[in-house]
């Protein structure tokens, strides 16, 4: 029997089919169709099944509160930044209560008090009477009285009385200094605004209990868990959790099978054909291009934002140890601090990414005329967005700006999208300009023959990241929370778990090729396969963010299966991770033999850290909380924050810093490169974040989960728990990791980057040379475009 040629796929050899470029367009089309189908279904379900916002009336038709009040309360909630203190249907910050869980439970308590008081007026009540009252209250809470024709929701007499209980609770939260659930006196003082806010939260609690028409569970699938109210997980939550685990086992088996086939077909990707390792062509010759010099200001701005992000994070953390943060709350409320902490994190990531993608461009093709001017214009946009957002968030959330001005130039108040709408639009303009700059730089590679090349992927990865930013424009103040939050997650999830991962894969592959570790052909295959897996699993996996924000059961099915399968691309990264450790030894040998002058030790450390945290922080900690049955109890606890810290800084932060240092090692003079300082900073940052997680975020999240299981979410998010001894002591423990992270990591790195602004390399490679792809460090580039370059 004749053995088929290695280049021809045969039945059963999936590896050959996946690796053959002639089939890549078909693979890409299939993945895009699945992703679009899933997103279109979820988008349609979002609008079709959104819970009604209506006038709430008594049984005899009197108005309790209006739809307009619900809308006004939502505006107060966002414009005053309360999503950066507490959460709504579990989405938002965890320092304060989940306002919907709170409203639902206080509605229950108010109804119990009302009906028991009515019974007590006729004489003593016994345990049987109390049981009967509790059963009546649960029945009325789960009954849906929405009348579409009249646009009203009818409340029972107990619910009408309970609304006053809820309104009193939230009024005291903002005005009574002796109230155990106090947020901050003087933050909200207008009684009308507080009552509107109470109406909005009461509506959110009603949605969490009232049965979806035709179903035996609420709009939020009986979330939050509250056994007294009668909210518990539905059968669908359990079923899809079990099915997802089975799908994961099947997926792991398939991935390992294909991986084994690939290993029998391919050469070791780390057997480079080049006579150097962990260095680059330009670094060996001391070359710096003019447009590369222009990127330093992005890195400097990123370090300033990084430092400010860490500072406000420290100030916010003190609020757990001493409410008010040692009197800081009177000047910088927790909402402002938390908004800064989340937004500045994304901002400095982006500044690093913008800087090093532009730095890469002169190595890929000719530098177009006017490119430097576009880079300067982009920096101006980024600076205005950063400075304007910092000022605007404070002015908006503290009430200095009101009305339309607060919305446009203050704070929109959506978690991770806090900046005012004007600065959001300016950011989109700036990032669109970034894509234009990248397009002009990689244009020679955008041919049919090179459509899957690493330079082309640099444009695709950056472009898709910016594309999803535009969905933030659909987040509007007047829209139903269930609809606006869908679009918010279309930005935030697509950043964090789709485009950031795609972008990270492309950037790491680019640096590995430039540093002589893998060939361009191998990089193309790694990027394509990893990106397709990330797109397939993570794009539809966005549904795990929609479990409890008023979506139908089909969304739980999508979110459960696809988010569980997000482990698969991370599994592939793990299988080859150990090989990367051997590369440093080869670099040392080349250095000792005199074939290279430099080794990018420190950049290599950050690349390894990206892989570690991708698997551990994004994969392990993410998988812990994505199953519906786990997420049902865990959602809106500190286990979510534990995963977020590991994934955000561990993966996105390390790749931002690693790419920045890759560029700075070319920009800074050899004598100014402080290996010891950078290594200390690296280990301090990564050990510090691990200490913060294991000394506080993980144990406090597990403690909070135990409280949820015993009492319900409302109590786990109460100030009795949040300001209790467990939280306080573990927050003090977190400060140990914070000290390591800040003093050993952030401050030395900031000093290193900012102190060398005037001491960069002077040897400039002019824009008149000839570009040679092979000399540029690209192995196997017979199909690369040719032409003049910088």
Residue-level pLDDT at 683: 98
| pLDDT tens digits, 693-717 | 999 999 999 999 999 999 999 999 9
Side-chain half-sphere exposure of 506, counting CA atoms within 13 A: 27
- 142, pLDDT greater than 90: yes
Residue-level pLDDT at 11: 43
| pLDDT tens digits, 72-95 | 999 999 999 999 999 999 999 999
User: Where does the pLDDT of residue 576 fall: very low under 50, low under 70, confident under 90, or very high at 90 and above?
Assistant: low
Q: 291, 767 in Cβ contact below 8 A?
A: no
Q: 513, 278 in Cβ contact below 8 A?
A: no
**Dist CA 474 CA 15 (whole Å):** 41
Residue-level pLDDT at 323: 62
- 787, pLDDT greater than 70: no
User: Where does the pLDDT of residue 1 fall: very low under 50, low under 70, confident under 90, or very high at 90 and above?
Assistant: very low
Residue-level pLDDT at 42: 96
Side-chain half-sphere exposure of 163, counting CA atoms within 13 A: 24
- 776, pLDDT greater than 60: no
Question: Pick from 229, 220, 236, 87: which is nearest to 627 by CA?
Answer: 236
Residue of higher predicted confidence among 291 and 139 = 139
Residue-level pLDDT at 783: 35
- 366, pLDDT greater than 90: no
Residue-level pLDDT at 577: 54
Assign 189 to helix, strand or coil: coil
Residue-level pLDDT at 123: 83
Residue-level pLDDT at 699: 96
Q: Mean pLDDT over residues 361-387, rounded?
A: 93
Q: What are phi and psi of 213, to 5 degrees?
A: -50, 125
- 321, pLDDT greater than 80: no
Residue-level pLDDT at 583: 67
Residue of higher predicted confidence among 167 and 790 = 167
Q: Mean pLDDT over residues 19-38, rounded?
A: 91
Residue of higher predicted confidence among 665 and 257 = 665
| Residue 9 DSSP class | -
User: Where does the pLDDT of residue 580 fall: very low under 50, low under 70, confident under 90, or very high at 90 and above?
Assistant: low
Q: Mean pLDDT over residues 573-585, rounded?
A: 62
Residue-level pLDDT at 582: 61
| pLDDT tens digits, 590-634 | 778 777 888 888 998 998 898 888 888 877 888 888 899 999 999
User: Where does the pLDDT of residue 324 fall: very low under 50, low under 70, confident under 90, or very high at 90 and above?
Assistant: low
Token duo for residue 417: 């999208």
State percent of the chain over pLDDT 70.
Answer: 90
Residue-level pLDDT at 574: 62
Q: Mean pLDDT over residues 280-290, rounded?
A: 83
Q: 666, 355 in Cβ contact below 8 A?
A: no
* CA-to-CA dists, residue 767 to 367, 497, 702, 788, angstroms: 7, 38, 58, 9
- 571, pLDDT greater than 80: no
- According to DSSP, the β-strands at 152-154 and 55-57 are parallel
Question: Pick from 415, 558, 477, 494: which is nearest to 46 by CA?
Answer: 558
Q: What are phi and psi of 518, to 5 degrees?
A: -135, 160
Q: 646, 613 in Cβ contact below 8 A?
A: yes
Q: Mean pLDDT over residues 518-525, rounded?
A: 79
Residue-level pLDDT at 329: 64
- Helix segments in 295-420, DSSP class H: 296-321, 334-360, 371-397, 403-405
- 252, pLDDT greater than 50: yes
Residue-level pLDDT at 269: 45
Average pLDDT, the chain: 88
Highest mean pLDDT: which range of 13-17, 121-125, 676-680? 676-680
| Residue 471 DSSP class | G
Token duo for residue 128: 């049987």
Least confident range from 5-9, 168-172, 583-587, 662-666: namely 5-9
Residue of higher predicted confidence among 380 and 281 = 380
Residue with tokens 């130039």: 409
- 325, pLDDT greater than 70: no
Residue-level pLDDT at 479: 93
């Amino acid at each position: 029997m004749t053995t088929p040629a290695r280049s021809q796929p045969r039945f059963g050899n999936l590896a050959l089919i996946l690796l053959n470029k002639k089939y890549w367009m078909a693979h890409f089309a299939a993945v895009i169709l699945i992703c679009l189908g899933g997103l279109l279904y979820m988008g349609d379900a979002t609008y079709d099944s959104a819970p009604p916002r209506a006038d709430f009336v008594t049984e005899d038709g009197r108005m309790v509160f209006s739809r307009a009040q619900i809308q006004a309360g939502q505006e107060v909630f966002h414009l005053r930044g309360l999503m950066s203190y507490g959460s709504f249907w579990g989405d938002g910050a965890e320092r304060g209560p989940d306002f919907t869980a709170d409203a639902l439970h206080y509605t229950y308590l108010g109804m119990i008090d009302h009906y028991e008081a009515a019974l007590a007026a006729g004489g003593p009540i016994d345990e049987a009477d109390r049981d009967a009252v509790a059963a009546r209250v649960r029945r009325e809470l789960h009954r849906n009285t929405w009348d579409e024709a009249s646009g009203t929701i009818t409340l029972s007499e107990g619910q009408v009385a309970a609304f006053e209980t809820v309104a009193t609770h939230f009024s005291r939260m903002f005005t009574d200094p002796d109230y155990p659930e106090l947020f901050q006196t003087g933050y909200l003082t207008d009684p009308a605004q507080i009552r509107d806010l109470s109406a909005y939260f009461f509506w959110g609690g009603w949605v969490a209990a009232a049965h979806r028409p035709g179903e035996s569970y609420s709009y939020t699938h009986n979330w939050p868990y509250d056994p007294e109210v009668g909210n518990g997980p539905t059968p669908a939550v359990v079923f899809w959790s079990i099915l997802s685990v089975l799908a994961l086992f099947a997926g792991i088996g398939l991935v390992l099978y294909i991986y084994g086939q690939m290993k029998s077909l391919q050469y070791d990707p780390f057997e480079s054909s080049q006579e150097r390792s962990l260095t680059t062509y330009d670094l060996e010759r001391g070359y710096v291009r003019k447009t590369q010099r222009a990127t330093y200001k992005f890195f400097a701005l990123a370090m300033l934002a990084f430092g400010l992000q860490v500072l406000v994070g420290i100030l916010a953390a003190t609020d757990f140890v001493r409410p008010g943060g040692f009197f800081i709350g009177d000047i910088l409320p927790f909402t402002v601090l938390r908004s800064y902490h989340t937004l500045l994190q994304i901002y400095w990531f982006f500044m690093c990414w913008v800087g090093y993608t532009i730095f890469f461009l002169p190595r890929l093709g000719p530098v177009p005329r006017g490119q430097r001017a576009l880079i300067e214009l982009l920096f101006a946009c980024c600076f205005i967005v950063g400075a304007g957002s910092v000022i605007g968030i404070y002015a908006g959330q503290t009430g200095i700006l009101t009305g339309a001005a607060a919305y446009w130039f203050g704070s929109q108040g959506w978690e991770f999208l806090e900046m005012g709408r004007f600065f959001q639009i300016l950011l989109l303009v700036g990032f669109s300009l970034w894509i234009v700059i990248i397009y002009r730089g990689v244009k020679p590679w955008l041919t049919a023959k090179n459509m899957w090349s690493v330079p082309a992927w640099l444009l695709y990865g950056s472009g898709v990241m910016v594309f999803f930013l535009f969905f933030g424009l659909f987040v509007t103040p007047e829209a139903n929370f269930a609809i606006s939050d869908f679009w918010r997650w279309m930005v935030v999830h697509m950043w964090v778990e789709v485009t950031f991962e795609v972008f990270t894969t492309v950037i790491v592959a680019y640096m590995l090729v430039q540093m002589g570790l893998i060939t361009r052909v191998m990089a193309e295959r790694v990027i394509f396969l990893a990106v397709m897996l990330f797109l397939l699993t993570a794009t539809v996996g966005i549904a795990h963010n929609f479990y409890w924000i008023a979506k139908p059961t089909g969304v739980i099915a999508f979110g459960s299966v696809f988010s569980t399968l997000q482990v698969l691309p991370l599994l592939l990264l793990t299988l080859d991770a150990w090989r990367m450790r051997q590369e440093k030894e080869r670099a040392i040998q080349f250095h000792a033999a005199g074939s290279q002058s430099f080794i990018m030790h420190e950049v290599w450390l950050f690349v390894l850290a990206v892989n570690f945290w991708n698997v551990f922080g994004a994969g392990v900690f993410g998988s812990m909380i994505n199953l519906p049955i786990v997420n049902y109890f865990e959602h809106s606890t500190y286990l979510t924050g534990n995963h977020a810290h590991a994934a955000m800084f561990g993966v996105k932060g390390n790749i931002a810093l690693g790419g920045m240092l890759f560029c700075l090692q070319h920009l800074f003079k050899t004598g100014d490169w402080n290996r010891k300082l950078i290594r200390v900073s690296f280990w301090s940052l990564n050990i510090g974040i691990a200490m913060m997680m294991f000394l506080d975020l993980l144990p406090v999240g597990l403690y909070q989960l135990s409280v949820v299981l015993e009492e319900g979410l409302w109590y786990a998010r109460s100030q009795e728990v949040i300001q209790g001894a467990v939280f306080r002591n573990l927050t003090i423990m977190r400060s140990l990791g914070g000290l390591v992270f800040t003093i050993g990591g952030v401050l030395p790195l900031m000093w290193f980057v900012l102190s060398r602004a005037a001491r960069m390399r002077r040897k400039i490679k002019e824009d008149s040379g000839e570009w040679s792809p092979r000399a540029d460090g690209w192995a196997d580039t017979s199909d690369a475009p040719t032409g003049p370059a910088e």
